[in-house]
Homo-oligomer: A and B are copies of this chain.
């Protein structure tokens, strides 16, 4: 019966991110014409391999749209004060519009203290308390890149969360919780009925089966199987894991693709959208708008 099998719509984050980047090139050109050269500062400590790859991706994406990048690289055993001084210099440097601290930071560093130092008006990752609070308070300035990228990806495929039952698996500070706050905002990019579940949810399967849009950011490879997804549901996979079988997400793609109406691949789904939204936030910071969502 393979002949009759309906294939799900693939939500192609890679393709959409290229479209977004083409739009951003125009914005950057216009800013440069006004004498504003958008610039991002990246702070990284240590040699954690995935972080090095992510930073290289961000540098390449920035340059491809015309954003300048300066990366401050520290040894894994860098002193707290040295990182602090760097952040303070970036805060003061008027040529720098955005500052990001590449996570994870080495364990000996006081992460909260470092984030508290970042000027909220340059916090293009949206992860300082002030910006998480602006988002939770319904008036975001910089929305964290992954949640913003997920909503952008849906909207580019004309899938509005408005009035939909959205289930988020994972309550992390980078994706799950800010995404819940984002989807609860008023307007066609929000207005969802949002459920957040996690490791303490006893009946994960039945909660997931209720979802019209299922977004997974649990950090567990292959957690979501086909029998946990309602037929026709939209499935967004924000996980990425290096395994012996290559890169995989939190969603078991093969079984879920048989029931989902639309699904993101891993890689090539949420990841590229995250990078594209970092570029958006940086350009908005340079433009002084910082409009976020």
Task: Name A residues whose Cβ lies closer than 8 Å to a Cβ of B.
Answer: 112, 127-139, 162-163, 165, 171, 173, 177-178, 180-181, 184, 186, 191-198, 200-202, 207, 210
Contacts and interface: CB of A to CB of B under 8 A. Distances in A.
Give me the 5 closest cross-chain CB pairs, A-B, nearest first.
Answer: A133-B133, A129-B133, A132-B133, A191-B200, A195-B195
B137 A134 contact: no
Contacts of A198: 184, 191, 193
A138 to B, nearest CB: 6
Number of copies: 2
B163 A200 contact: yes
A136 B184 CA distance: 14
A189 to B, nearest CB: 12
- Interface centre among A134, A137, A184, A207, by most chain B C-beta atoms within 10 angstroms, is A137
Nearest to A183: B196
Contacts of A163: 200-202
19 contacts: A130-B133, A132-B133, A132-B134, A132-B136, A132-B137, A133-B133, A133-B136, A136-B136, A138-B173, A171-B184, A180-B184, A191-B198, A191-B200, A193-B196, A193-B197, A193-B200, A193-B201, A193-B207, A195-B195
Contacts of A171: 184
Nearest to A185: B171
Nearest to A176: B184
Given A129-B133, A133-B136, A163-B202, A184 B177 contact: yes
Nearest to A127: B137
Contact of A133 (B134, B193, B202): B134
